[in-house]
Amino acid sequence: MSTKILKVYLLATFLINFSHSFFFATYSLFLASRGLDLMELNSVNIFFMLFAVFSEIPTGVFADSFGRKKSILAGCFLFSASFLVYFLSFSFWLFVAAELIGALANAFISGALDAWVISTLKENNFNGVWKKVFIQEGDRRIIGYGLGGLFGAYLGNFDLSYPWLAGSISFFVMAIAFSFILKEEYFKKEKVRKKIFQIAKEGCIYSWKRKAIFYITLFGLVSTLVLQAINMQWQILLEGSFEMSVLNLGWSFFFMSVFMFIGNRLAEKFSEISRREEVPIILSQTITAFGIGIAAFFSDFSIIIAGLMIHQSGRAMLEPLKKTFINHRINDEKIRATVNSFSAMMVKGGAVIGLLISGYLGKNYSITLAWQTSAAILIASIPLFLKFNYRGKT
């Protein structure tokens, strides 16, 4: 039974990330083609992150109170609506509307899918290794990214809006399929409204008091902050400075995903460098910082591409190690999705700061300076987080 549950989880992970990534290789170009500059482009994404920050905890509580399956289905339907609005939009504020819907969709799925598989496997007496589960999850997520981004680039080669239409259709069909294949008969719905607010309070307090969880979440915030410059500007830089076509951007993203896959696979080996579980998580980001630094301080095309590939390996290591670290330390199944949502909320708060900084620097100075600043922040944060005490209440 555990094997079947795990297969459903990995399939769901692949399909969600495959559909979500249709626009990954063309997002910035699409918004630029609709008249947005670098600051406006980042501002659209800031609205997404801000709304996601405030919706993470309520949607996590929803998942813990009414069921993780219902939360995942709601997220898929909302993603379908968000992508459709993007496909039809031509103005800044309509793009913002699409991002707000997408932020709510992301929040409904964020934490809920992981909470579903952990609770469902525990219900069926799973005795495997959670780190291996999350590394397998990372494999499917990254393969979904790579194939979805490449597929979207081929669609975008005809029209940059087509990836959004395809994503809308895919998420709608996916929601219907998930309503049949996700099982959660054991879940007991919370009937008292007061209990919902109690879950939210307990989940936040739990995350705050468990300093190991809080510190690693805070490190995830810093990591996400520095990655926004690369996320939002790599397409603009490669297309503007090296005249890369949409298809070549798609293939570039595909090969970045290959390096993400390698990094995800190396996460388990990397985790063995220290008995202190937090050390590999933090040190893995030296690879990310090294890659960003290479891309930021050199102007040669091949070196920039190499830097982008290397940084993807490092950032891919972070997620499975961080997920394992946090979920190992959650002892109360009733607040698992809420605690995961707290972590996601903090991370998105970092993304807002990163978008503001990189958007300002990219528009008023240069994309190169935005990337150099990102590398410097991440390098400076690594020794700082290694000094924190993770051995307190965990």
DSSP string, 291-303: HHHHHHH---HHH
Over residues 91-118, the mean pLDDT reads 92
What pTM does this model have? Answer: 0.84
CB 95 within 8 A of CB 78: no
Ranges of each domain in the chain: 2-386
Alpha helices in the chain (DSSP H): 2-20, 27-33, 38-66, 68-88, 92-109, 112-123, 130-158, 162-181, 193-209, 211-242, 246-270, 278-283, 285-297, 301-328, 336-364, 367-386
CB 335 within 8 A of CB 206: yes
CA-CA distance, 23 to 153, in Å (whole number)? 7
Q: What local confidence, expressed as pLDDT, does residue 189 receive?
A: 63
Of 70-79, 202-211, 314-323, 345-354, give the range with the top mean pLDDT: 70-79
CB 142 within 8 A of CB 257: yes
Over residues 40-65, the mean pLDDT reads 87
Average pLDDT of the chain to the nearest whole number: 90
Over residues 381-387, the mean pLDDT reads 92
Q: Which structure tokens are listed for 149?
A: 């981004």
Neighbours of 391 (CB within 10 A): 10
pLDDT band at 132 (very low <50, low <70, confident <90, very high): confident
Q: What local confidence, expressed as pLDDT, does residue 288 receive?
A: 95
3-state secondary structure of 254: helix
Its CATH class, for the domain covering 2-386, is mainly alpha
Poorest-pLDDT segment among 113-117, 217-221, 363-367:
113-117
pLDDT band at 192 (very low <50, low <70, confident <90, very high): very low
Over residues 229-240, the mean pLDDT reads 93
Q: What local confidence, expressed as pLDDT, does residue 57 receive?
A: 82
Over residues 30-58, the mean pLDDT reads 90
Q: What local confidence, expressed as pLDDT, does residue 257 receive?
A: 95
pLDDT band at 222 (very low <50, low <70, confident <90, very high): very high
